[in-house]
């Protein structure tokens, strides 16, 4: 099962980014696109945790008599290196098992530390804008700035920030549509999702699945919020409001016009056909359904097997 998970994660890491980019490029099914990217990213991380658990348990169970999975792999490698029959030294088995566990612990620690840093920065920014800005109804804060921008940032509570320049340039309906977009981020917990994928990209910067996944999930979350705002205020109103907002939001924030404005504008101007959207949703749903339970199911099956054998 551990070998199977290694092959599974290898296939997802090599093929996943290209396949998912092709399916989510148009943004026709943003919610299913977010789900598919998150499922692929989470399945790889959880699979490697399960693999390390398997390796350590198997090594401990066969400590006295050898012949664990890791022993067999190291013996085969040792034979290839020395060119003849033989067994790898027992110390090498121990070092290899400890290395697998250490790599997993370090990777998970980096991921958690990156998330906590992003969360702390976002909370600090939300606190600062509430101190210097004018608190309006709900969680909206207006700050004095010449930059035309609107964004939301996680905090306690999460805060929607709008600059004076934005309120001056946007019409009443455009401002309402932009605020509805930002409130959709807050209610949908998009900020937390964005921080999780951002932490994964920072923790594993050379991994295309994590790096591209963070960018794509952020873009698709903007489209999800676009759908909510457009349903209430109309696509044209939201589109003109987005085109007015050209400034980027700060780090750890989601801005109304900071992510893939061109593709979002095209999507608002030319909504997708229902037939093609349904086929795309089916493909993304299939990926999500396959990716989510794979490592968990493997761990459950392994646990059941150990229980039966015991």
Digit-coded pLDDT (tens) for 84-100: 555 555 566 566 667 77
Helix spans in 133-273 (H): 164-169, 172-187, 190-203, 208-233, 235-244, 261-269
Which range of 109-118, 245-254, 280-289 scores highest in mean pLDDT? It is 109-118
Each as own residue / partner, the long-range contacts of residues 81-90 (CB below 8 Å, 24 or more positions apart, any chain) are: 90/66
User: For the whole model, what pTM was predicted?
Assistant: 0.81
Give the model confidence (pLDDT) of 179-206 as tens digits.
999 999 999 999 999 999 999 999 999 9
pLDDT at residue 237, as a whole number: 93
What is the pLDDT, as a whole number, of residue 214?
A: 94
Mean pLDDT of the chain: 80
Structural contact between residues 107 and 63, judged by C-beta atoms closer than 8 angstroms? no
Q: State the total domains in the chain.
A: 1
- Per residue in 212-264, pLDDT (tens digit) is 999 999 999 999 999 999 999 999 999 888 888 864 455 555 555 555 677 78
CA 117 to chain centre: 16
- Give me the pLDDT at residue 308, please: 40
User: Tell me, what's the pLDDT at 156?
Assistant: 81
Quick: pLDDT tens for 114-126. 999 999 999 998 8
Query: 117: domain range?
Result: 2-309
Place of tokens 């990777």: 107
Question: Which residue is it, tokens 């020395």?
Answer: 82
CA dihedral angle for residue 14, residue 17, residue 22, residue 28, rounded to 10 degrees: 150
Residue 213 has a pLDDT of 95
Whether residue 166 contacts residue 258, with contact meaning beta carbons closer than 8 Å, is answered with: no
The C-alpha atoms of residue 93 and residue 101 are separated, in whole angstroms, by 13
């Amino acid at each position: 099962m551990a070998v199977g998970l290694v092959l599974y994660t290898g296939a997802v890491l090599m093929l996943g980014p290209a396949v998912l980019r092709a399916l989510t490029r148009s943004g026709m099914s943003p919610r299913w696109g977010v789900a598919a990217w998150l499922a692929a990213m989470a399945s790889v991380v959880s699979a490697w945790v399960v693999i390390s658990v398997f390796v350590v348990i198997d090594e401990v169970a066969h400590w006295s008599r050898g012949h664990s999975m890791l022993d067999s792999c190291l013996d085969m490698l040792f034979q290839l290196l020395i060119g003849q029959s033989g067994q790898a030294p027992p110390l090498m088995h121990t070092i290899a098992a400890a290395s697998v566990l250490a790599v997993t612990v370090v990777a998970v620690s980096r991921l958690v530390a990156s998330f906590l840093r992003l969360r702390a920065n976002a909370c600090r920014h939300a606190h600062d804008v509430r101190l210097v800005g004018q608190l309006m109804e709900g969680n909206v804060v207006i700050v004095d700035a010449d930059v035309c921008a609107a964004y939301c940032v996680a905090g306690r509570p999460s805060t929607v920030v709008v600059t004076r320049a934005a309120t001056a340039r946007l019409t009443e309906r455009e401002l309402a549509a932009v605020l509805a977009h930002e409130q959709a981020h807050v209610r949908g917990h998009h900020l937390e999702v964005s921080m999780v994928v951002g932490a994964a990209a920072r923790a594993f910067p050379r991994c295309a699945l994590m790096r591209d996944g963070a960018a794509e999930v952020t873009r698709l979350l903007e489209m999800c919020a676009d759908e909510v705002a457009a349903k209430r205020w109309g696509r044209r109103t939201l589109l003109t409001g987005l085109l007015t907002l050209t400034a980027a939001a700060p780090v750890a924030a989601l801005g109304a016009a900071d992510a893939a404005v061109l593709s979002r504008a095209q999507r608002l101007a030319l909504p997708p056909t229902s037939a093609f959207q349904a086929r795309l949703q089916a493909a993304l749903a299939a990926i999500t359904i396959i990716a989510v339970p794979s490592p968990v199911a493997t761990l459950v099956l392994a646990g059941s097997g150990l229980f039966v054998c015991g």
